[in-house]
Amino acid sequence: MNKAVEDKIKELKSYLSKIEYLGSALAVFSWDDMVNAPKKAVEYRSRVTAYLAGELYKLKTSDEVKKFIDFFDGVKDELDEVITAALDNLKREYYQTKKIPDDEYKEYTKECSVSLAAWEEAKNKSDFNIFKPHLKKIVDFNKRFVEYWGYEGNKYNALLDNYEPGITTEKVDKLFVEMKDGIMDVLNKIKKSGYTPRIDFFTKRFTKEEQEKFSKIVLKKMEYDYEKAGRIDEYMHPFTTNFGNKDVRITTFYDENDFRSALFSCIHEGGHAIYEQDIPDDLQGTLLNCGVSMGIHESQSRFYENIIGRSKPFWKYFYPEATKMFKQFEGVSFEEFYNGINYVEPSLIRTEADELTYGLHIIIRYEIEKMLINDEITVDELPKVWNKKYKEYLGVEPSNDAEGVLQDMHWADGSFGYFPSYALGNLYGAQFLNKMKKDMPNVDKDIESGDLSSIHNWLKDNIHKYGAVYKPSELIKKVTGEELTSKYFIEYIDKKFGKIYYK
């Protein structure tokens, strides 16, 4: 590599570091907003957030960025994999934002915050009409953005690409149809089996302190370093955030009348957190020092939450721990406990769904988003379409909009294209599991003995250590040798739930 290129790379890294620093400052500010900030500060803080976000936007779309892109375009052959990926990433974001007229984007972010407030009110009053005019605007903005950005094939591709770069609507269509059929097949077999696990013992009283203690035991076993490189705090809606790889924080919510709620949210967020803690230091200054996509991120959190956290080997180790700590489980057998953890029941609320039916909630949202963007339905028709799909896929029907179309905030803040990530995360996860079991045939034994480090090491070596260097589609192929498929997930759910319910 010649000296001029080397110097320019140093310059680039120093520039991208600034973006990382400001991003971290904004992230700390947002975390503080949710976890700490007093009520009266809301208005002032929203102005600070807008300012920081604006400055971050400026850094990402500056003339300097354009100059970096132009320079490196001329010396492509001299760049290594990481710098090439960093530039692809930078370029993608630069042109995506540049294609939207500045004023329109400003108007959009303003409308998003108005729309969020309207959604909140609408949800509280369970009245879709309050939210409708705002959602219409948000959808229209997104449709225009799709045109600005351009697309091949389905218009929805342009949105999907923001969250899961490289995947297409055509591929997701196929995956989700298979996934839906697979889930509904298992669900029908479960219904026919007539078996219903006991879950009464989970809804006794569990103090916050007890729950916190138990969650921490699990998180420690998972090797999430919350002591020296993280924190656990409380927030209504659990989330993970990070400022670099050495300060990765999770939040959880303790429901004192349910043993499962905080525990599984901690395991889920712990999965996200481990991913970020494992990102190598040397990806700093590339903007690739983070999880590669929402879908891969969800694959990690769901891997821990479901594939590990709701598995038999896991509870073989933790059931004795749990019964030791909680008198509430006296007289509950291991089988009862394990089956209860895997209780399946179609329900109305996505965030409360069980492992099996969760995907159907996502597929419904995906189908609706696609239709909206392609003008196949209108915003006015949303509640009707929503309720019909819930009836059809899950066999349940919302009695009001709050427990139906208004339940999620994603559309209110314009996150069209985001929902599929959750279900893709399930598919990635099962495919990773398949490969992991081939690489480590005895992994279940490790889990049974409370040793989760082999899993962690496998995930670190195969996924985490790459940060965002490879696109999701590249990564899954690199790790498993195959493109993303629904096969392993369908096998997994049939095998797992079959054993509990119908085999």
Maximal C-alpha separation, the chain: 72
- Least separation in angstroms between residue 43's CB and a copy of itself is 8
CA-nearest of 494, 187, 185 to 346 is 187
Q: Which amino acid is at 100?
A: I
- Least separation in angstroms between residue 59's CB and a copy of itself is 10
DSSP for 173-222, please give it. HHHHHHHHHHHHHHHHHHHHH------GGGGS---HHHHHHHHHHHHHHT
Q: How far apart are CA 476 and CA 469, in angstroms?
A: 13
**Among the listed residues 29, 149, 235, 343, the single contact to a copy of itself using CB under 8 A:** 29
Contact between 229 and a copy of itself by CB under 8 A: the answer reads yes
Q: What letter does residue 147 receive in the DSSP assignment? A: H
Q: What letter does residue 466 receive in the DSSP assignment? A: G
80's enclosing H/E stretch is none
| Residue nearer to a copy of itself on the CB measure, 275 or 338 | 275
| Residue nearer to a copy of itself on the CB measure, 119 or 275 | 275
Q: Return the SS3 of 441.
A: coil
CA-nearest of 452, 463, 395 to 428 is 463
Contact between 53 and a copy of itself by CB under 8 A: the answer reads no
DSSP for 315-366, please give it. HHHHHHHHHHH-GGGTT--HHHHHHHHT-----S-GGG--TTTHHHHHHHHH
Q: Which stretch binds a copy of itself (CB under 8 A): 19-27, 161-169, 331-339, 442-450?
A: 19-27
Residues 232-271 that bind a copy of itself (CB under 8 A): 243-244, 246-247
Q: How far apart are CA 132 and CA 144, in angstroms?
A: 18
Residue count, binding to a copy of itself (CB under 8 A): 35
Q: What are phi and psi of 252, to 5 degrees?
A: -145, 170
Active-site residue identified among 64, 81, 234, 269? 269
Q: Which residues of 102-114 are buried (b: 16+ CB within 10 A; e: fewer)?
A: eeebeebeebbee
In the annotation, is 269 catalytic?
A: yes
Contact between 56 and a copy of itself by CB under 8 A: the answer reads no
**Among the listed residues 41, 114, 177, 349, the single contact to a copy of itself using CB under 8 A:** 41
Q: How far apart are CA 199 and CA 336, in angstroms?
A: 8
Residue 350 CA from chain centroid, whole number: 13
| Residue nearer to a copy of itself on the CB measure, 228 or 324 | 228
**Among the listed residues 5, 52, 100, 409, the single contact to a copy of itself using CB under 8 A:** 52
- Least separation in angstroms between residue 41's CB and a copy of itself is 4
- Least separation in angstroms between residue 326's CB and a copy of itself is 25
Token pair 């070596």 in the structure block, residue? 461
| Residue nearer to a copy of itself on the CB measure, 270 or 383 | 270
Q: Which stretch binds a copy of itself (CB under 8 A): 23-31, 251-259, 342-350, 376-384?
A: 23-31
Contact between 193 and a copy of itself by CB under 8 A: the answer reads no
Two tokens at 316?
């073989």
Q: Return the SS3 of 245.
A: coil
**Among the listed residues 10, 18, 58, 92, the single contact to a copy of itself using CB under 8 A:** 18
Q: How far apart are CA 302 and CA 294, in angstroms?
A: 12
Q: How far apart are CA 300 and CA 267, in angstroms?
A: 10
- Least separation in angstroms between residue 29's CB and a copy of itself is 5
Q: Return the SS3 of 233.
A: strand
**Among the listed residues 5, 34, 37, 56, the single contact to a copy of itself using CB under 8 A:** 37
Q: Which stretch binds a copy of itself (CB under 8 A): 26-34, 74-82, 204-212, 342-350?
A: 26-34
- Least separation in angstroms between residue 264's CB and a copy of itself is 24
| Residue nearer to a copy of itself on the CB measure, 4 or 41 | 41
**Among the listed residues 36, 124, 129, 378, the single contact to a copy of itself using CB under 8 A:** 36
- Least separation in angstroms between residue 104's CB and a copy of itself is 22
| Residue nearer to a copy of itself on the CB measure, 167 or 288 | 288
Contact between 26 and a copy of itself by CB under 8 A: the answer reads yes
Q: How far apart are CA 156 and CA 147, in angstroms?
A: 10
| Residue nearer to a copy of itself on the CB measure, 288 or 360 | 288
CA distances from 26 to 53, 227, 334, 418 (A): 7, 23, 46, 21
| Residue nearer to a copy of itself on the CB measure, 232 or 360 | 232
Residues of this chain that interact with a copy of itself (CB under 8 A) are 17-18, 21-22, 24-26, 28-29, 31-32, 36-41, 43-45, 47-48, 51-52, 225-231, 243-244, 246-247
Q: Provide the annotated active-site residues.
A: 269
